[in-house]
Amino acid sequence: MHAETQNEWEIRMFQKILGYLRDELCIDFPYLERALSALTPEGKENVNAFATEGVYLYYPPAHYLKVFEENELFLRRAYLHTVFHCLYAHPWQRGHREVNLWNLACDIAVEFVIDGLEKPSTRRLLSWLRQQYYEKLREKKVISASGIYELLTEEPPERLTALSREFYTDDHALWGKENGQSPMPDQPKQSEDPQKKWQKIARQVQFQKEKSDRTEDAVAAVMQAEITARRRRRSYSDFLKKFASFHEQMHCDMDTFDLNFYTYGLRTYGNLPLIEPLETREERRISEFVIVVDTSYSTSGELVRSFLQETLHILLEKNAFFTTAKVHLIQCDDMVQEDLVLRSLAQAEAMLSHFEIKGGGNTDFRPAFTYVEELRARGELKNLGGLLYFTDGNGTYPAKKPDYPCAFLFLDSYNEDEVPAWAIRRQLDQTEHI
């Protein structure tokens, strides 16, 4: 058996981190899923930052492992930054322009877009220099790299130096290489023209973005999250807990308790503290949740059991739920077959020990959503945190967006165009655990 070297371990670990970064970005930008997966990760020690020629995403594994520990936000933005360069065709548009100015113009153009998105996964405080230059771009009504390039030709050298230092994010040394020819000697020549590939991806992104914009208020209300088999259990746990809601719990709230006043009262007046600690505090926990399992004819019982075991363990573990926890486990093909209410991990484990799939018809998502609305109307679900739909294929979606977060986890390939813009979706890898 081959012993893993330090470099191989670093590469393997950072590829997991890339998957995590991609997942976090897709929470806010589901329409970028295809673009964020288009570059093949390749660890290289002779690069200092992300670099690409449109095919591979080169990165320094050892260095970026340290960066991830210290500044995850920077790494997440840098990943998106490099992908945006490809979407805007920056690596192939320089022409006869001066290299350094063109690189800077492209960096400013991309950062201007990212800073304007104002999403949790990319939001950062803007420096005074950025604010000033962004205001200039708005006044001049310039947003493209070519337009910014023209403005930069008028800047004095010291201003260009400051701007370069402020906006540098990734390495552009591989830009402008011959189409299809990898700049790295150990990489094979590509059969597809990278520029044409990204033109196609850009059209797909534009279509998905327009589709998403038509329901922007709905997308804003839904927590967009990616769940893949390669994600760490911690990431999956964080995803589920994003369905939490604030509620008062019987605990001493030490965040609102001022120890100085408390001890001052004891010193001055004897056994008479001036302020007692509050006996309650608000905590963010999951209160109610619905899991729907697609039980159509092609569903694998073993895969369903594995999914349920991992998910229920996370949801029902200590401190995930309130003491009045409730999980509805619904089996549904083209009609609701069963609804089990689970209130503890012990109940979940007992259920899984003799779990059987009930159904075998066609896939239709609508009956489960209708049934959930009936539960809410009857008062059986009063504080629904979200719905997770585990399915092995495409089906008929509800015409109307529900007013609670819901995610679809696909075992097989699915048609993205059929999935509503408000729906969180992800194709799972059947060969790995969630």
pLDDT per residue rounded down to tens, the chain (434 residues): 566 788 888 998 999 999 999 999 998 898 899 999 999 999 998 899 999 999 999 999 999 999 999 999 999 999 999 999 999 999 998 888 999 999 999 999 999 999 998 888 999 899 999 999 999 999 998 888 999 999 999 999 999 999 999 999 999 999 976 444 455 555 555 567 899 999 999 888 888 777 766 544 443 443 333 333 334 444 556 556 555 443 344 444 444 445 555 565 656 666 655 554 444 444 445 578 899 988 876 566 667 777 787 777 777 665 455 455 788 999 998 899 999 998 887 888 888 888 888 877 788 899 999 999 999 999 988 888 788 888 876 788 888 888 888 888 777 667 777 888 778 776 665 444 44
What span, in angstroms and rounded, lies between the C-alpha atoms of 221 and 57? 33
Type of residue numbered 383: N
Reference 77, options 87, 68, 65, 90; nearest CA is: 68
Measured CA distances, 53 to 13, 74, 183, 189, 198 (Å): 23, 21, 8, 12, 11
What span, in angstroms and rounded, lies between the C-alpha atoms of 239 and 235? 6
Type of residue numbered 382: K
Cβ 183 vs Cβ 365: under 8 Å: no
What span, in angstroms and rounded, lies between the C-alpha atoms of 167 and 159? 12
Q: Is 300 left (phi over 0), alpha (psi -120 to 50) or beta?
A: beta
Pairing of strands 384-391, 406-410: parallel
Cβ 332 vs Cβ 294: under 8 Å: yes
Cβ 172 vs Cβ 48: under 8 Å: no
pLDDT at 408: 84
Q: Is 120 left (phi over 0), alpha (psi -120 to 50) or beta?
A: alpha
Type of residue numbered 265: G
Q: Could you give phi then psi for residue 363, rounded to 5 degrees? A: -95, 125
Reference 330, options 400, 381, 377, 283; nearest CA is: 381
| Three-state secondary-structure class, residue 51 | strand
pLDDT at 323: 52
